[in-house]
């Protein structure tokens, strides 16, 4: 009987831990920019640390029970994260890195492999075919580009500064094999990009310094505003804030159960969780 009670106690404690990961903010992060949840529930957070300081950036892993470890280090200014298979990909300043499950990493796409040398690689997103999409926010006001990187590392340009709408592409979200959502950090506009011809359709405006985008399976879209400190819900074509006063909320993610928005708050050095309906 005593044995059974111990087993029950252990199971009960395990459940509590799993469900409380999102109940408390995580603190003492080093300029966090992006977060992603792996299939097994672990979170990966990119930490820029010093801006424009090379080799001090890292990826932190937070397990489902809240245990924190440094997963990979020695990066420059790591930002957007994507997972393909067992590997984590990182947009690191002007190159894209591949991190293996043991935390060792190598350069997947070097800066000089891009059609234009990137100035500020920002968000990263993967599709179901194993392609990556990466935004270059350029000088953060006039230019930039969005590129597609196939599984062999070959790059094609989706949009670049030749389109007047492209000022500082930041957040990316792959909707399907033909469409990508992007939010512009300079204009605060949200666009749907046709991946076959690069055409942009404006969906909504008013997202300030638009940073991260998430979209639920039921089609609800949320966008973070790095400059203004709010998280917006796109409600009937309008940007409506659901939470404000964050000190630079960067590249948001959804939890797997779609119950929480995960918010890396860059200048506060925290990871916060917003429960959504």
Minimum separation from the CB atom of position 260 to Ca ion (A)? 19
Which of these ranges, 38-46, 119-127, 146-154, 229-237, lies near Ca ion under the rule CB under 5 A? 119-127
Nearest residue (CB) to Ca ion, 65 versus 142: 142
Site of tokens 């097994």? 40
Nearest residue (CB) to Ca ion, 129 versus 143: 143
Element (H, E) at 18: helix 2-20
Tokens of 221: 């879209």
Q: What Rg value do the Cα atoms of the chain yield, rounded?
A: 19
Minimum separation from the CB atom of position 91 to Ca ion (A)? 8
Paired strand residues for 143 = none
**Using the rule CB under 5 A, is 160 a contact of Ca ion?**
no
Tokens of 191: 């666009």
**Using the rule CB under 5 A, is 182 a contact of Ca ion?**
no
**Using the rule CB under 5 A, is 74 a contact of Ca ion?**
no
Which residue, 237, 198, 231, is CA-closest to 214? 231
**Using the rule CB under 5 A, is 77 a contact of Ca ion?**
yes
Tokens of 37: 């949840």
Using DSSP, how many helices (H) and how many strands (E) does the chain show?
A: 1, 23
Nearest residue (CB) to Ca ion, 7 versus 95: 95
Q: What mask of x and - would describe binding to Ca ion in positions 186 to 215, judged by CB under 5 A?
A: -------------------------x----
**Using the rule CB under 5 A, is 49 a contact of Ca ion?**
yes
Which of these ranges, 8-16, 59-67, 186-194, 247-255, lies near Ca ion under the rule CB under 5 A? 247-255
Applying CB under 5 A, which of residues 58, 122, 224, 270 lies at the interface with Ca ion?
A: 122
Distances in whole angstroms, Cα of residue 22 to Cα of each of 25, 188, 192, 276: 7, 28, 30, 12
Q: CA 30 to CA 78: how far, in whole Å?
A: 11
Alpha-carbon torsion 89, 184, 140, 264, what sign? negative
**Using the rule CB under 5 A, is 57 a contact of Ca ion?**
yes
**Using the rule CB under 5 A, is 46 a contact of Ca ion?**
no
Please report, as ranges, the residues that interact with Ca ion according to CB under 5 A.
48-50, 53, 56-57, 77, 122-123, 170, 211, 251
């Amino acid at each position: 009987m005593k044995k059974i009670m111990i087993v029950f106690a252990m199971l009960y404690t395990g459940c509590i831990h799993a469900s409380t990961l999102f109940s408390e903010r995580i603190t003492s992060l080093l300029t966090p920019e992006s977060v992603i949840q792996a299939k097994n529930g672990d979170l990966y957070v990119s930490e820029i640390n010093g801006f424009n300081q090379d080799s001090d950036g890292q990826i932190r892993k937070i397990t489902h029970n809240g245990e924190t470890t440094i997963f990979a280090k020695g990066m420059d200014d790591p930002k957007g994260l994507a997972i393909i298979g067992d590997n984590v990909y990182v947009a690191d300043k002007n190159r894209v890195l591949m991190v293996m499950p043991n935390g060792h990493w190598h350069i997947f796409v070097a800066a000089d492999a891009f059609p234009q040398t990137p100035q500020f690689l920002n968000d990263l997103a993967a599709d179901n075919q194993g392609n990556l999409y990466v935004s270059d926010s350029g000088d953060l006001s006039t230019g930039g580009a969005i590129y597609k990187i196939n599984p062999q590392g070959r790059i094609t340009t989706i949009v670049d500064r030749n389109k007047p709408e492209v000022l500082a592409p930041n957040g990316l979200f792959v909707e399907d094999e033909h469409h990508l959502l992007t939010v512009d950090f300079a204009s605060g506009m949200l666009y749907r990009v046709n991946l076959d011809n690069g055409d942009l359709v404006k969906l909504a405006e008013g997202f300030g310094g638009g940073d991260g985008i998430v979209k639920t399976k039921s089609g609800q879209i949320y966008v973070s505003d790095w400059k203004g400190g709010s998280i917006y819900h796109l409600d009937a074509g309008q940007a409506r804030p659901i939470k404000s006063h964050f000190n630079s909320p960067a590249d948001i993610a959804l939890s797997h159960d779609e119950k929480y928005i995960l918010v890396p708050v860059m200048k506060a050095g925290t990871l916060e969780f917003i429960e959504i309906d």
